[in-house]
DNA sequence: CACATGATCGCCT
DNA sequence: GGCGATCATGTGG
């Protein structure tokens, strides 16, 4: 038996090209109140922020370049639609700044940052991120790849990003003029909600995922 | 670039 | 039992 296992998932190592030093870059964490605000705003303002993970005392991270907002009980595309509250979805009801990670299609993980105060169930899906010069542009392009590249699995669902632990979000931003908008990807089953313009991305980033026609506006 | 398909399994009804 | 907040690969234009 090798490696530590929690909740059935082996701890995965982040991609080596993502190693960095948050302290040397002078990065500061977002305060709790940043995450307790309107989910759509958080989804936009989290673009450019650093999603970072500590693994064996080394930091790995990347800048978020694509997100989607999921608006809780009234959003047919959200796991919390109609107030669904099962063990899997429970982290969505936690205070802003927690993580909600789920497993889909039998092989991929998706990571969300929970928003608004405890008791609500909204979140921002992290869809893509940019690494460094030596990082392949597509390594973190798409929610599944983003989790794979950073080694994020369901063991981190419910993790508090402001606990001073191994997963954190450091401040960073993008020019409003560079932010594009579109409907969300992969939620065609959600009726009217599938057309809501809740996907945001940094236009000129090569790491943005999705079909080209959704990346124009 | 668009579209189609298979892989694969935890979660919910 | 059915179906995903996905991805890689294949085809065709």
Q: What is the pLDDT of residues A26-41, one digit of tens each?
A: 999 999 999 999 999 9
State the pLDDT confidence band at A200, using cuts at 50, 70 and 90.
very high
- Whose C1' is closest to the CA of A107: which nucleotide? B8
In contact, A66 and A128? CB cutoff 8 Å: yes
The mean pLDDT of chain A is: 95
Q: What's this model's pTM, rounded to 2 decimal places?
A: 0.95
- A3 vs A189, higher pLDDT: A189
Q: What is the pLDDT of residues A103-128, one digit of tens each?
A: 999 999 999 999 999 999 999 999 99
Q: Which chain A residues in 5-64 sit with Cβ < 7 A of strand C?
A: none
pLDDT attached to residue A103: 98
Position A2 pLDDT exceeds 50: no
If DSSP codes are grouped into helix, strand and coil, which group holds residue A82? Answer: helix
What is the C-alpha separation between A61 and A68, in angstroms, rounded? 20
Q: What is the pLDDT of residues A12-31, one digit of tens each?
A: 899 999 999 999 999 999 99
Position A189 pLDDT exceeds 60: yes
pLDDT attached to residue A11: 75
Q: Is the CB of A66 under 7 A from strand C?
A: no
Share of chain A above pLDDT 70, in %: 95
What is the C-alpha separation between A144 and A209, in angstroms, rounded? 11
Extract the tokens encoding A18: 């993502």
The stretch A70-91 carries a mean pLDDT of 98
If DSSP codes are grouped into helix, strand and coil, which group holds residue A185? Answer: coil
Q: What is the pLDDT of residues A32-75, one digit of tens each?
A: 999 999 999 999 999 999 999 999 999 999 999 999 999 999 99
State the pLDDT confidence band at A6, using cuts at 50, 70 and 90.
very low
Tokens 């002078």 locate to A26
Q: Is the CB of A112 under 7 A from strand C?
A: yes
A204, A99, A215: which is closest to A160 by C-alpha?
A: A99
pLDDT attached to residue A10: 60
What is the C-alpha separation between A113 and A103, in angstroms, rounded? 15
Give the CA A114 to C1' B13 distance in Å: 26
**CA R_g for chain A:** 16
pLDDT attached to residue A9: 57
Tokens 């010069």 locate to A133
The stretch A143-159 carries a mean pLDDT of 98
């Amino acid at each position: 038996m090798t490696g530590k296992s929690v909740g059935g998932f082996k701890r995965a190592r982040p991609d080596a090209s993502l190693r960095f030093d948050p302290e040397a870059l002078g990065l500061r964490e977002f305060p709790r109140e940043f995450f307790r605000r309107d989910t759509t705003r958080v989804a936009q303002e989290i673009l450019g922020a650093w999603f970072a993970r500590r693994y064996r005392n080394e930091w790995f991270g990347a800048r978020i370049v694509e997100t989607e907002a999921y608006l809780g009980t009234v959003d047919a595309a959200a796991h919390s639609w109609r107030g669904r509250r099962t063990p899997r979805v429970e982290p969505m009801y936690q205070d802003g700044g927690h993580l909600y990670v789920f497993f889909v299609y039998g092989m991929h993980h998706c990571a969300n940052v929970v928003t608004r105060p405890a008791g609500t169930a909204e979140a921002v899906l992290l869809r893509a991120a940019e690494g460094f010069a030596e990082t392949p542009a597509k390594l973190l392009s798409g929610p599944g790849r983003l989790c794979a590249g950073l080694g994020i699995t369901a063991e981190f669902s419910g993790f508090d990003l402001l606990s001073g632990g191994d997963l954190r979000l450091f401040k960073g931003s993008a020019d409003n003029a560079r932010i594009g908008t579109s409907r969300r990807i992969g939620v065609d089953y959600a009726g009217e909600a599938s057309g809501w313009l809740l996907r945001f991305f940094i236009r000129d980033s090569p790491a943005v995922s999705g079909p080209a026609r959704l990346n124009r506006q």
